[in-house]
């Protein structure tokens, strides 16, 4: 399973929390790229409920990662 920021962003508006089947249905209905569907199909636990994209891809950047703090630099 390979996630990129572009692929993972296709699931930002998914109906969280969601199961694997719900996420697959959402991805297909919204016309997400085939790679998103393939990544979701690789999930092993059929009954697990995912609360957010971070459950699928722990390295998903948060909104704080995109803010520039001038005081830090």
Q: Do residues 15 and 22 lie in contact, with contact meaning Cβ atoms separated by under 8 Å? A: yes
Write out pLDDT tens, residues 28-58.
999 999 999 999 999 988 789 999 999 988 8
If DSSP states are collapsed to H, E and C, what string results for the chain? CCCCHHHHHCCCCCCCCEEHHHHHHHHHHCCCCHHHHHHHHCCCCCCCEECCHHHHCCCCCCHHHHCCCHHHC
| Domain contains 24 | yes
Whether residue 67 lies inside any domain: the answer is: no
Whether 64 maps to a domain, the answer reads no
50 within domain boundaries: yes
Residue 63 is assigned to a structural domain of this protein: no
Within a domain: 70: no
Inside any domain, residue 68? no
Residue 47 lies in a domain: yes
Q: What residue numbers bound the domain in which 38 lies?
A: 5-58
Q: What is the pLDDT of residues 11-36, one digit of tens each?
A: 989 999 999 999 999 999 999 999 99
Q: Total structural domains in the chain? A: 1
């Amino acid at each position: 399973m390979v996630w990129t920021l572009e692929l993972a962003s296709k699931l930002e508006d998914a109906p969280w929390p969601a199961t694997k089947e719900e996420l697959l249905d959402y991805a297909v209905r919204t016309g997400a790229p085939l790679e998103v569907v393939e990544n979701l199909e690789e999930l092993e636990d059929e009954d697990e409920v995912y609360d957010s994209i971070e459950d699928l891809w722990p390295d998903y950047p948060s909104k704080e990662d995109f803010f520039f703090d001038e005081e830090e630099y």
